[in-house]
Amino acid sequence: MGDSAAGPPLLLDAMLGRLARWLRLIGYDAAYIADTDDLEVVRAARAESRLVLTRDRNLAARRAIDALLIESQTLDEQIEQVVGALGLPPRPARPRCGVCNVPLEGISPEAARSRVPPYVWRTETDFSECPACRRVYWPGTHWQSIQARLARRTQPETDAGAKYPPPPAASPSA
Ligand SMILES: [Zn+2]
């Protein structure tokens, strides 16, 4: 896809659709395959040299593919595992459309004006658009919470005795 700056391209299997949407927003090239047949997943991964993310132990153990077994059922922990194992995409990584896996393009506030709720247009200045489906994105609260969570990962702890408060529940419907 000519976008090699965004880390290893990923292929998430049918159980990880929600994780795929979040990884795209972070900037990973995260394809998703709804097919539950292992052979189809293997074929798709090999065709594009993608790293398979799966919760299926048998699939992850296949020699024909590179795979990362996702351990947790919790979205937050899944994101942490991926970022811990692969690192963040090199900055600046362009967020991708959570639906299409296509890098977003910045648009002016004027261009976004008629396409977002009035409150959003008044309070946000940073708008992007998916060139494929034309959805408009802006850094809302869900995005900020995940950015904060990732920032905590990359910063040394200042108070060794303190535990993080539990992260806010993430929703994919940002
Ligand atoms: Zn899109």
Query: Which tens digits make up the pLDDT trace of 157-168?
Result: 444 333 333 344
Q: How many angstroms is it from 32 CA to the middle of ligand 1?
A: 14
* Residues in the 5 Å CB sphere of ion ligand 1: 97, 99-100, 130, 132-133
Q: How many angstroms is it from 133 CA to the middle of ligand 1?
A: 4
Q: How many angstroms is it from 98 CA to the middle of ligand 1?
A: 7
Q: For position 168, what pLDDT does the model report?
A: 41
Asked whether residue 128 carries a pLDDT value surpassing 60, the answer given is yes
Could you tell me the residue ranges of all domains in the chain?
A: 4-86, 105-157
Q: For position 46, what pLDDT does the model report?
A: 96
Asked whether residue 25 carries a pLDDT value surpassing 80, the answer given is yes
Residue 100's identity, in one-letter code, is C
The C-alpha atoms of residue 83 and residue 68 are separated, in whole angstroms, by 12
Compare 94 and 93 and report the one with higher pLDDT. Answer: 94
In the structure, what pLDDT confidence band is assigned to residue 92 with cuts at 50, 70 and 90?
Answer: low
Nearest to 134 by CA among 114, 154, 120: 114
Q: Decide: pTM greater than 0.85.
A: no
The C-alpha atoms of residue 121 and residue 116 are separated, in whole angstroms, by 6
Q: How many angstroms is it from 157 CA to the middle of ligand 1?
A: 37
For helices 141-154 and 17-26, angle between their N-to-C axes, nearest 10 degrees = 80
The C-alpha atoms of residue 97 and residue 87 are separated, in whole angstroms, by 20
- CATH architecture label of 4-86: 3-Layer(aba) Sandwich (3.40)
Asked whether residue 87 carries a pLDDT value surpassing 50, the answer given is yes
